[in-house]
Chains A and B, each alone.
Chain A
Amino acid sequence: MMPQDLVPPVLSVRDLTVEFVTRRGTLRALDAISFDIARGEVLGVVGESGAGKSVTGSAIIGLIDPPGRIAGGEVVLSGERIDNLPPDAMRKVRGKRIGMIFQDPLTSLNPLYRISEQLIETIRTHTDLNAADARKRAIALLDEVGIPAPERRIDGYPHEFSGGMRQRVVIALALCAEPEFIIADEPTTALDVSVQAQIIALIKRLCKERGTSVMLVTHDMGVIAETADRVAVMYAGRIVEIGPVRDVVKQPLHPYAKGLMGAIPSLEGDAERLVQIPGAMPRLQAIPPGCAFNPRCEKAFARCHVERPELVQLGDRKVACHLYDQPQSSRDKAEIAA
């Protein structure tokens, strides 16, 4: 997107590589991925289980547990490199400058403490407000995320809230320190559709009002289509296509992205059969040489089996596929048109 060229991005990830050292050898969960997120932008990250979506989030906030480790690359938050910070300094970044929203609101909240205690503790950790002011701020936050009668509800325990309301509390927790960047890892997966719609609307509104950037990790393309500005499609630890959500969802270029979009049953259209990608994502131990997608790709040719495609710029987006490597060939034009 345009603002990136003028203003430095809020988050910039360069060649981030994460490896897990096991007895059977080193597994590469993330393989040199790079992307930027601009201020106020929502970047959707999609892919199937094991594609590396959640690992990306964990790596950014420095929560990769051994035997995993960041084996290379850098993470830059508003111009400051954060992937090599000592644990103490990183703990201050986490929560203060990067907020987190996880899938299951029950596991992000402590069931033994009142909502008020959890919010006030977080606020006081990251700001120098006194207890009374922190409580006022907590009530204001609950109000902002749409919890009715926050003065009364704030002293409730997590189990007294419904799933949707709990997720709102988690969002309020993430907002406590006014972070510049939020990682939302499957924030609506555990919720019903009608509640999911409310949470999506809330996240969108907060981005707009506060200018917070969001990395939205989900496997639900519908959620991405509605919420994100740009989307990155991941496959076997790499980004295979990244670009404006309109382009990637409506006219995906990478064969995997195409298959993924076609595989989703829609509320419109009349497909008798869904597009079927044969096989399944390779395990990390057995990522095929060349393009990781080549065994499942019907367009694969000789080069795909030996040479790994790099992300190349194509208009507003980037695609990692040999079909689009040489823009001069007529084949690509046909592909783009298709």
Chain B
Amino acid sequence: MSQGPAERPFVQVRDLRRIFDVSKPWLNRVLERAPRQYLKAVDGVSFDIRRGETFALVGESGSGKSTVARMVVGLLPPSDGTVSIAGISMNDVNVAQERQRLRRRIQMIFQDPYASLNPRWRVGRIIAEPIRAFGIVHGEADITGRVGELLTLVGLHPDDAGKFPHEFSGGQRQRIAIARALASNAEFIVCDEPTSALDVSVQAQILNLMRDLQQRFGLTYLFISHNLAVVRHMATRIGVMYLGRLVEVSEGKQLFSHPRHPYTRMLLDAVPDLAMVGKAREGVKGEIPNPISPPSGCTFHPRCPLVFERCRIESPPVIDGVACHAVNQGRIAAA
């Protein structure tokens, strides 16, 4: 990767794991002699995010992208592995105070703007909450002024502060969520499917707004989406996830022009696109397996057209951005 040795990445995720206990209740286990069951939602994920870039995670449902996002912001403790942001560990107890100061610099935007805004609070109070909580601005008049500024920034009117969330459309609510994220002067924003609940024309407005704000404030985004076209539009670099693992990390556009991992290729072939009018497409085989009992070796091997013996036994390590035996052994030519 093209990373200067002097500059430390803004966000460093190393060997992140999260295991959920999905066992049946104790009594059932005893009666049915069922063993405990574990689901490896995230299984050894490592990546870096540079300051000012958009790092995107794509994958189908159940691939663990949202779990990674939650662990990065600290909403969910990892089972293993580390996350450090701006050099401060998110799970080291010794730096608890520094982490507290770091928290305000990290914000999250959620998928459903109908669920992420308190319906009983006026918009002004919603946006002012982080300002008050972190003591960024003092004095009511100044707080109101700052809220007005933020609303203008995201394309709403300062007077909208007096309204309730239900008075706004989905796109406007997502603007409010963005204003709230910016209220604490956040530098790093984790966006979990920020536009998948929105109509396409509104999605375009929100994506454009997010880009403008990134350029203006030098924001760093971790962008989670299942929509490859949206990711291509937004991302500087992209990580593709499959069953809790990162199978490929690539520079934005390159992933689309030169996909390497067979899963990435399959995924790209599957996306319906405007350019596909009247064209026949290649069939896609199978579905994501049950993550409670994932296949042995490379978890993609039952669906992989390039599978060979080693894939069934040995889980491929990430080498040069791809986790695939076939690619590493040079069995597929670069596309």
The chain A residues found within 8 Å of chain B, CB to CB, are 48-49, 162, 164-165, 192-198, 200-201, 219-223, 225-227, 245-246, 249-250, 259-268, 271, 273-277, 280-281
Report which of A193, A221, A222, A266 forms a contact with B60, defined as CB distance below 8 A: A193
**Which residue from A194, A200, A273, A280 sits with its C-beta under 8 Å from B171?**
A280
Which residues of chain B come closer than 8 Å to A263, judged between CB atoms?
200-201, 203-204
Q: CB < 8 Å: which of B171, B200, B211, B232 contacts A267?
A: B232
CB distance from B145 to the nearest CB of A (A): 27
Q: How far is the CB of A296 from chain B (nearest CB, A)?
A: 9
Given A162-B287, A276-B205, decide whether A193 and B270 contact each other with a Cβ distance below 8 A: yes
- The answer to whether A201 and B281 touch across the interface, beta carbons within 8 angstroms, is yes
15 pairs, CB–CB < 8 Å, chain A vs chain B:
A192-B60, A192-B61, A193-B226, A194-B288, A195-B284, A195-B287, A197-B281, A219-B199, A222-B272, A222-B276, A262-B204, A265-B207, A267-B229, A273-B211, A275-B204
CB distance from A256 to the nearest CB of B (A): 9
Give every chain A residue within 8 A of B211 (Cβ-Cβ). Answer: 273
CB distance from B186 to the nearest CB of A (A): 23
Contacts of B226 in A (CB 8 A): 192-193
- Given A201-B281, A201-B283, is A194 in contact with B267 using a C-beta cutoff of 8 Å? yes
Asked if B272 and A225 sit within 8 Å, CB to CB, the answer is yes
Q: Are B275 and A268 in contact (CB under 8 A)?
A: yes
Of A197, A200, A262, chain B has the most CB atoms within 10 Å of the CB of A197
| With A194-B60, A222-B276, A264-B229: A274-B208 Cβ-Cβ less than 8 Å | yes
CB distance from A282 to the nearest CB of B (A): 11
Given the complex, which residues of A lie within 8 Å of B276, measured CB to CB? 222, 225-226
What are the nearest 9 A-B pairs in CB distance?
A222-B272, A263-B204, A265-B233, A48-B199, A274-B204, A192-B60, A197-B270, A265-B229, A277-B201
- Asked whether A222 and B274 contact (CB < 8 A) given A260-B201, A274-B204, A280-B169, the answer is yes
| In the complex, B271 has a CB within 8 A of chain A | yes
Given A48, A192, A222, which contacts B273 in the complex, CB threshold below 8 Å? A222
**How far, in Å, is A82 (CB) from chain B's closest CB?**
31
Given contacts A49-B199, A193-B270, contact A164 B287 (CB under 8 A): yes
> What does DSSP make chain A's interface, helix, strand, loop or mixed?
helix
A245 to B291 Cα, complex, angstroms: 39
Asked whether, in the complex, the Cβ of B274 is within 8 Å of the Cβ of A196, the reply is no
Chain A residues, Cβ within 8 Å of B278: 245-246
Contact present for B277 and A280 (CB under 8 Å): no
Residue ID in chain A nearest B303 by CB atoms: A194
CA gap between A250 and B232 in the complex, in Å:
20
**With A263-B201, A277-B201 in contact, do A245 and B207 touch (Cβ < 8 Å)?**
no
How many residues of B are in contact with the other chain, CB < 8 A?
43
Q: Enumerate chain B interface residues (CB-CB to A < 8 A).
A: 60-61, 169-172, 199-205, 207-208, 211, 226-230, 232-233, 256, 266-279, 281, 283-284, 287-288
Whether the Cβ atoms of A226 and B284 lie closer than 8 Å is no
Residues from chain A with Cβ under 8 Å of B200 in the complex: 48, 219, 221, 260, 263-264
Q: How far is the CA of A220 from the CA of B228 in the complex (A)?
A: 13
Select B228's contact among A193, A250, A271, beta carbons within 8 Å. Answer: A193
Shortest Cβ distance from residue A279 to the other chain B in the assembled complex, whole angstroms: 9
Q: Do A197 and B272 touch across chains, with their CB atoms under 8 A apart?
A: yes
Contact (A265, B271) CB under 8 Å given A201-B283, A275-B204, A276-B208: no
CB distance from A165 to the nearest CB of B (A): 8
CA distance A168 to B266 in the complex (A): 21
Q: Known contacts A49-B199, A265-B232; can you find 17 more A-B pairs with CB under 8 A?
A: A162-B287, A192-B287, A193-B60, A193-B226, A194-B266, A194-B270, A194-B287, A197-B281, A201-B283, A222-B229, A262-B204, A264-B200, A265-B230, A265-B233, A267-B268, A276-B208, A280-B202
Cα distance A314–B254 in the bound complex, in angstroms:
41
Kindly list chain A residues whose C-beta atoms are within 8 Å of the C-beta of B227: 265
Q: Measured between C-beta atoms, what is the minimum distance from A179 to chain B in Å?
A: 25
- Give A220 to B33 CA distance when docked, in angstroms: 47
Bound together, the chains give a CA A4 to CA B76 distance in angstroms of: 59
Q: How far is the CA of A197 from the CA of B271 in the complex (A)?
A: 7
Which residues of A are found within 8 Å of B172, using beta-carbon distances?
A: 280
Q: Which residue of B lies closest to A277 (CB)?
A: B201
Give the distance in Å from the alpha carbon of A280 to the alpha carbon of B267 in the complex: 32
Once A162-B287, A265-B232 are accepted as A-B contacts, the answer to whether A200 and B272 lie under 8 Å apart by CB is yes
The one of B203, B207, B275 that contacts A266, using a Cβ cutoff of 8 Å: B275
With both beta carbons as reference points, the residue of chain B lying nearest to A195 in the complex is identified as B287
- Chain A residues contacting B229 (CB-CB under 8 Å) are 222, 264-267
Q: How far is the CA of A197 from the CA of B272 in the complex (A)?
A: 7
Question: A residues within 8 A CB of B287?
Answer: 162, 164-165, 192, 194-195
